[in-house]
C-alpha cells in the first residue's frame, strides 16, 4: 500500500476566506495529501511570512487561493501572498492558483482591485482555476491535485519509522519492481499485437470523414474584465490524430489527453473570442466538454486507432503507431 503523502502549502489571506481554507484543507486531506501553511492577516505580518516560507520549502506544491482582495501592501510594494508566489517561482515549485470570480465586495479600494487584476495576469501564466462558491472550489481543488500530480509527480513524504525500516532495501526493491513492470508491459503489447483485430489492417481515415465537434468553455479577458465564453469548433479527424499521435506512442492518462486537446484548440478559441467579443485579448482555462471527449474516444477506438489499458490510459494500436511513424518519416 502506498503510504507516501504529498505536502501542499495553501497560501491565502485570512479575511473573507476562513470557510474556503477549510474546504481546501478537507479536499487535500481527502486525497491523502498533507495541507500546510498559515493564512495572512489583514495587516502585514513578517513573522508569518517567515513561517510560511519554511512551509513552502518543505512543500511539494503551492496552492494559492485569491479571494476578493489583493491584500495589504508591505514595504516592498507587494502583498505577502504575492511574495510567497514569487518565492515559489524562484524555488521552481509547481503552482496551482484558485481565483475567485464571483461578486466583488462593496467598498473595496479601487487601487486594491487594480493590483488584484495585475496579480491575476501574472497567475495566468501558469495553471489557474476559477471559482465562485465552495462547491466549485472543492471541485477545482480535486482537479488541481490531479493535474499537478500528473504533470509534476512527486515522491511525497513518508513516516520516519517506515523509511528507517525500508531504506536499505528500497533501491533494490524499486529496481525489481521497475523491471517487472517493463516485462508486463512488453507481454501485454505482444498479446495485443497477436489478438487485436486492428493490428493487421491498415488505417483508413476515409471510413469516417465526419468532423469532430469540440464544444468548449473558457474564460475570456478584455481590459481587466472577465467573461465566461462557450463555443463549438470543428476539426478533421486526421488533424486530431496529428495532435495526439506522438504522445500516444506510450500510455497516457485521459487527463493528459484532455490537456492536449485544450492546448491545440487554444489559438482557435482565442480567435473565436476575439471575433465575438471585440477587444478580447486573452483566454484561459480552456476545457473541452467531457461528452465530446467521450465521443472522440469511442470513435478512435472503432477506427482502430487507440486502445486502453487496465488503468484507462490511452495508447496507439500497432497499426496506428506504424502509420504515425511513417507519416513522421515522410515529412
Tens of pLDDT along 95-154? 999 999 987 655 568 888 899 999 999 999 999 999 999 999 999 999 999 999 899 888
Confidence of residue 206 (pLDDT cuts 50, 70, 90): confident
The helix/strand/coil state of 157 is strand
Average pLDDT value for residue range 43-67: 91
Average pLDDT value for residue range 248-267: 93
CB 131 within 8 A of CB 100: yes
Mean pLDDT of the chain: 87
Average pLDDT value for residue range 37-57: 89
What is the side-by-side strand order in the sheet with 282-288?
225-235, 212-222, 282-288
Q: What per-residue confidence (pLDDT) applies to 1?
A: 40
Average pLDDT value for residue range 308-318: 90
Amino acid at each position: 500500500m502506498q503510504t507516501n503523502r504529498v505536502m501542499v502549502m495553501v497560501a491565502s489571506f485570512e479575511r473573507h476566506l476562513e470557510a474556503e481554507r477549510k474546504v481546501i484543507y478537507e479536499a487535500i486531506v481527502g486525497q491523502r495529501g498533507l495541507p500546510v501553511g498559515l493564512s495572512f492577516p489583514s495587516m502585514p505580518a513578517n513573522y508569518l511570512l517567515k513561517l510560511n516560507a519554511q512551509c513552502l520549502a518543505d512543500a511539494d506544491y503551492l496552492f494559492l487561493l485569491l479571494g476578493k482582495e489583493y491584500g495589504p501592501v508591505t514595504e516592498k510594494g507587494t502583498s505577502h501572498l504575492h511574495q510567497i508566489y514569487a518565492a515559489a517561482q524562484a524555488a521552481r515549485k509547481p503552482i496551482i492558483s484558485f481565483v475567485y470570480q464571483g461578486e466583488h465586495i462593496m467598498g473595496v479600494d479601487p487601487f486594491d482591485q487594480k493590483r488584484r487584476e495585475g496579480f491575476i495576469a501574472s497567475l495566468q501564466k501558469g495553471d489557474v482555476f476559477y471559482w465562485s462558491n465552495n462547491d466549485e472550489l472543492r471541485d477545482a481543488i480535486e482537479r488541481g491535485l490531479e493535474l499537478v500530480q500528473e504533470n509534476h509527480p512527486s515522491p511525497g513524504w513518508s513516516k520516519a519509522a517506515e523509511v528507517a525500516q525500508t531504506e536499505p532495501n528500497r533501491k533494490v526493491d524499486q529496481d525489481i519492481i521497475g523491471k517487472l513492470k517493463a516485462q508486463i508491459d512488453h507481454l501485454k503489447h505482444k498479446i495485443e499485437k497477436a489478438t487485436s483485430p486492428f493490428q493487421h489492417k491498415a488505417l483508413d481515415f476515409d471510413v469516417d470523414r465526419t468532423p469532430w465537434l469540440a464544444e468548449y468553455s473558457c474564460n475570456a479577458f478584455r481590459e481587466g474584465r472577465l467573461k465566461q465564453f462557450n463555443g463549438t469548433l470543428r476539426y478533421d479527424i486526421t488533424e486530431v490524430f496529428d495532435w495526439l499521435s506522438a504522445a500516444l506512442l506510450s500510455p497516457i492518462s485521459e487527463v493528459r489527453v484532455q490537456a492536449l486537446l485544450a492546448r491545440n484548440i487554444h489559438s482557435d478559441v482565442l480567435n473565436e473570442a476575439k471575433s465575438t467579443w471585440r477587444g478580447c485579448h486573452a483566454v484561459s482555462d480552456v476545457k473541452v466538454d467531457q461528452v465530446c471527449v467521450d465521443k472522440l474516444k469511442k470513435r478512435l477506438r472503432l477506427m482502430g486507432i487507440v486502445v486502453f489499458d487496465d488503468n484507462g490510459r490511452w495508447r496507439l494500436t500497432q497499426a496506428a503507431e506504424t502509420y504515425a511513424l511513417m507519416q513522421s518519416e515522410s515529412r
